[in-house]
Amino acid sequence: MIASESGWAQVANLQEAIDAAPKGTERGEINPEAPLGYLGIPGGPQINLILAFFWAIWVGWIFSTVGAFGGIMAGVGHITVYGLGNYAGTFRQSAPTINRAVTDSIRVSNQFMVGTSALISSINYYKMGRLVLPVAAALAIGSIAGSYLIPLLTAGKISFRDYVGYFGIFVLFLGCYMLYETTPRGAAGKKKAKQAADAFESTMKKKRSGEKVDTSELGVKMTKFSLGKIAFTFYGVEFSFNPLFPIFGGFIIAAIAAFLGVGGGFMLVPFLTSVTGLPMYLSAGTSALAVLIGMITSILSYLQQGVLVHWPLIGTQLVGIVVGSMVGPYTSQYIPDKWLKRVFIILAFYVGLDFMARGFLGKNIMTMFFG
Amino acid sequence: MQEFHEIYTSIYQWLDMFLISTFRLISNPVSGFFFGTFLLSLWCTLIGELTSLGVGRINRTHLKKLEQESIRLHNLSVKAIIHKDKESYRACNKMANEAWGKYFFATISQSAASVWPVPFALAWMHTRFEAIEFELAYPIPLLPDVVGYPAVFIPMYILVRICFAKLKPWLPLFHGDDAPKLRRPGQEDEKMITWADVDKHKGLPG
């Protein structure tokens, strides 16, 4: 066996755990006579690829209409829809290694699902010269550390219940953020930005196109560079940020992304815009590169720990995402943005609370409320 | 359902026969493995690129709309910074980033469309070459000393993709964007103002 000789411990451990698990047909037992299922476990769930395909269409639809929630829904698919969560849960007491192997497989599968775009877009942005290498490097240092450490520290150690609980907290947080954005206070910030942008646009329209502009100070000029502060003028306008922020931010975002098995791009872009003040032209490429570096490190780190991947499932889901994203633009025009947002807030609260209840209390939300 | 299963099985058997035959074209097993993996990477690249092309054409109008919105707001932010208006720059940049976020996630389909054959190829290789192992001549960080078929397939696939990208301008179907033909007069797109343009024109271009 490759696994036992090469240090890919988890593959060997899973086989050992299968051998050591109590044999039988009850919950938490392995029936050696049963056909091989998920990850080659006898009696493991037979992933229904048709169901996976249709769920991935839904994920693709969300990606093309809402954005960030796609990664979450991919996770919900792995945990709930394909039955991997319930299956992993049955081995909580009897064979914890099987429980953890399935959990890690879910985490890395989520990352494969959401990470492919970063690779292609980073190459394009690099070609267009849209990367700010010092900021990308600072983010990358943090990202690599976070993406490498989390799988190293947690692969094979996180039980399914813990994972689901933390996943729930994250989804609930996202739901709260979406809800905040719809409140008058949250909407005011956005409205203010829109009003300022609109006001500036109309000013520009009034001005004659050939107007003289003072551009004696071109590009970025560094005015202060220390451990505590980077100050620079950008076409004569002053900006500053603490260089430790991108490193620390990159670490935290990559660590969360690697732990939960999400991309992290939707957290990085607002972070870059608000902390460094980088223009979109540069922050888009820089964040795509940081996501890519984080994803590669994290996936390799998981694979190095011997985390198992169900390749046909990943392939089927990618095809589903493509179909969903093609359907999305044609259907979303009939659904107002406001309603779409409300549906996702309700969904985020339900999934978040349900996963938290499952993770920390061992009950699903329906049982909790309705017995 | 039974019929579906039979169709699926016969397609799989045919594909399996076709794919493994390319690994047997060279009699030396090691060379045959590398050559077969190269051809498999080529298939994955070709099928992926063709799908991506098709999806790109279907989604073009939607993607163009999202891209144009982010370009418009970005250009506005460039104008604001050139006029040394920091507040307007921050506002326009924030809006541009939001618009770009939508565009970024919408392009995921394009990326997924070009790489979807890879996991299937790896799944098929697993059924045929699970036991194959290569000892690394030099240790590589993050990799064990002995690696399996993915360590050959993945770098090979990346190399084929790079070569394919270089050859694209000479390949029929892939050599260019035909979008300009579809635009009517007065529908010209707003072009993104790059910082190189600003530097070159000592201000706003045009």
pLDDT at position A61 over 70 = yes
The answer to whether the Cβ–Cβ distance between B109 and A322 falls below 8 Å is yes
More confident residue, A265 or B171: B171
Six-digit token string for A118: 């970063």
Look at B55 and A301 and tell me if their CB atoms are within 8 Å. no
- Write down the pLDDT at residue B35: 94
Best of A204, A207, A281 to disrupt the B interface (most B CBs within 10 Å) is: A281
Does A119 touch chain B if contact means CB atoms closer than 8 Å?
Answer: yes
Angle at A330 between CA A325 and CA A336, to 5 degrees: 105
**pLDDT at residue A5, rounded to an integer:** 37
A179 close to A352: Cβ distance less than 8 angstroms: no
Tokens 């507040």 appear where? B87
Q: Which of A315, A266, A255 is nearest to A67 (CA)?
A: A266
Local confidence band at A369 (pLDDT 50, 70, 90 cut-offs): low
Q: How far apart are CA A364 and CA A353, in angstroms?
A: 9
Taking alpha carbons only, the member of A219, A248, A246 closest to residue A232 is A219
Say what the pTM is.
0.78
How do A220-225 and B134-135 pair as beta strands?
A: unpaired
Name the CA radius of gyration of chain A, rounded: 23
Task: Nearest chain A residue to B123 by CA: give it.
Answer: A311
- For residues A226-247, give the mean pLDDT: 76
- For residues A34 and B171, give the distance between their C-alpha atoms in angstroms, rounded to a whole number: 50
Contact A14, A97 (CB under 8 A): yes
Does residue A290 have a pLDDT over 80?
no
Residue B44, pLDDT score? 94
The pLDDT of residue A15 is 75
Spans of chain B, pLDDT less than 50: 178-187
Tokens of A341: 């947002």
Cβ of residue A189 closer than 8 Å to a chain B Cβ: no
pLDDT of residue A125: 62
Give CA–CA dist B19/B39, Å, rounded: 9
Name A136's Cβ contacts closer than 8 Å, sequence gap at least 6.
A286, A289, A290
| CB atoms closer than 10 angstroms to residue B153 | 20
**Range 306-325 of A in CB contact (< 8 A) with B:** 311-312, 314-315, 318-319, 321-322, 324-325
Q: What is the mean pLDDT of residues A137-158?
A: 78
Q: What Cα–Cα distance (Å) separates residue A44 from each residue in A180, A317, B149?
A: 41, 20, 25
Closest alpha carbon within chain A to B52? A322
CA atoms of B25 and B2, how far apart (whole Å): 35
What secondary structure letter does DSSP report for A8? Answer: -
Residue A183 is predicted with a pLDDT of 81
* pLDDT confidence of residue A107: 76
Is A84 within 8 Å of chain B by CB? Answer: no
Cβ atoms of B197 and B205 within 8 Å: the answer is yes
ipTM above 0.90, yes or no: no
Taking CA atoms, what residue in A is nearest to B135?
A: A6
Amino acid at A158: I
Tell me which residue of A82, A77, A70 sits closest to A38, measured CA to CA. A82
Roughly what angle, to the nearest 10 degrees, separates helices A311-332 and B86-106?
120
Least confidently predicted of A11-15, A29-33, A73-77, A309-313: A11-15
Instruction: Give B194's DSSP letter.
Output: P
A76-121 pLDDT per residue, tens: 888 888 878 778 778 777 777 787 788 878 777 777 766 655 565 5
Is the minimum CB–CB distance between B138 and chain A shorter than 8 Å? no
| Spatial CB neighbours of A318, under 8 Å, sequence gap ≥ 6 | A56, A113, A116, B112, B115, B116, B119
pLDDT score of A16 more than 80: no
Q: How far apart are CA B29 and CA A219, in angstroms?
A: 57
Among B59, B91, B198, the residue with its CB nearest the CB of A326 is B59
Q: Does residue B47 sit at the A interface (CB-CB below 8 Å)?
A: no
Q: Do B109 and A270 touch (CB under 8 A)?
A: no
Kindly state whether B96 is in contact with chain A, defined as any CB-CB distance less than 8 angstroms: yes
- Residues of chain A in contact with residue B126, where contact means CB-CB under 8 angstroms, are 311
Chain A closest-CA separation from residue B172 CA (Å): 22
What pLDDT shows up at residue B159?
92
Task: Give per-residue pLDDT as tens, A170-206.
Answer: 889 888 888 887 888 877 777 777 777 787 777 777 6
Could you tell me what percent of chain A has a pLDDT over 70?
79
The predicted pLDDT at position A118 comes to 57
**Higher per-residue confidence, A54 vs A229:** A54
Mean pLDDT of chain A: 76
Distance between CA atoms of residues A119 and A126, nearest Å: 11
The half-sphere exposure of B37 on its side-chain side, counting CA atoms within 13 A, is 24
In a mutational test of the B interface, the residue from A235, A266, A291, A310 whose CB has the highest number of chain B CBs within 10 Å is: A235
pLDDT for position A29:
81
Residue A232, strand partner residues = A222, A239
> In 3-state terms, what secondary structure has residue A23?
strand
